[in-house]
Chain A
């Protein structure tokens, strides 16, 4: 990649003016939409192939998943075309929509038939600080303190989100769909929960061990 990045740029000979082409009604727009969809489909297939392992038992036609992701990415891009500021190449900007759509679809499909472990008590599997294994007392002390803080310092919703995402490895966008909320809202909950845990550790003089 030889072009300068990180600055507002005008279209170059190496990259057509996608925004102009996609905004102007007519044959040129139809052609641009077709070319963009082809790029998005390539990006979606790339992403689905990268995440293939997560779909090991799924027998679906994965190209349908990639096509649906490309279709949804195209719709999102056309709706947000006026937000493209030119601080990356247009194709990079467009690719991120395909990666998001394909990645989310793969994660949701992989979890579609799986039971989601949401039990708040999952945190209780963390080691008790009184049962610290010899040789790693500091880590065991910290994990025990975190375990206590999860029990005492978090709301039930914060515990549910923290346990699902960090201990049970439930993808946050999958959890968001199950809880009828958004990825951003759940991450805010996770962030606030982590902040509360850190504050509780700080009260016990343990914050330095995690910095």
Chain B
């Protein structure tokens, strides 16, 4: 990542990342791991990078996380 948001958007994450379909497949587990204080990024490598690079998947992640928080 650079310290410039525009460059980050243009160049995306550096390194391996999941696809949108893989992101959706693992999203429920990833968010539950986050909510229980587990190392979600170690359990599902490439998810964090994809969420940095894909605004739509990042929105879905934020929403599912907020929904679980509201349910807690």
Contacts and interface: CB of A to CB of B under 8 A. Distances in A.
A binds B: yes
A87 interface: yes
B17 to A, nearest CB: 7
A92 B31 contact: yes
Contacts of B28: 87-89, 92-93, 95-96
Interface residue SS majority, chain B? helix
Contact of A5 (B10, B21, B38): B38
Contacts of B20: 172, 183-184, 187
Contacts of A5: 29, 32-33, 36, 38
A84 to B, nearest CB: 9
Interface in B1-56: 1-4, 6-7, 9-12, 14, 17, 19-21, 24, 27-29, 31-33, 35-36, 38, 43, 53-56
A103 B27 CA distance: 15
Interface residues of A, number: 47
A139 B10 contact: no
Taking residues whose C-beta sits less than 8 angstroms from the other chain, chain B's interface range is 35 or more
A135 to B, nearest CB: 13
A56 interface: no
A132 B67 CA distance: 44
B11 A96 contact: no
A88 B31 CA distance: 9
Please provide the 4 A-B residue pairs with the shortest distance between their CB atoms, ordered closest to farther. A88-B28, A194-B12, A5-B32, A166-B9
Given A1-B32, A139-B7, 7 more contacts: A92-B28, A92-B68, A103-B56, A146-B11, A171-B55, A187-B20, A194-B10
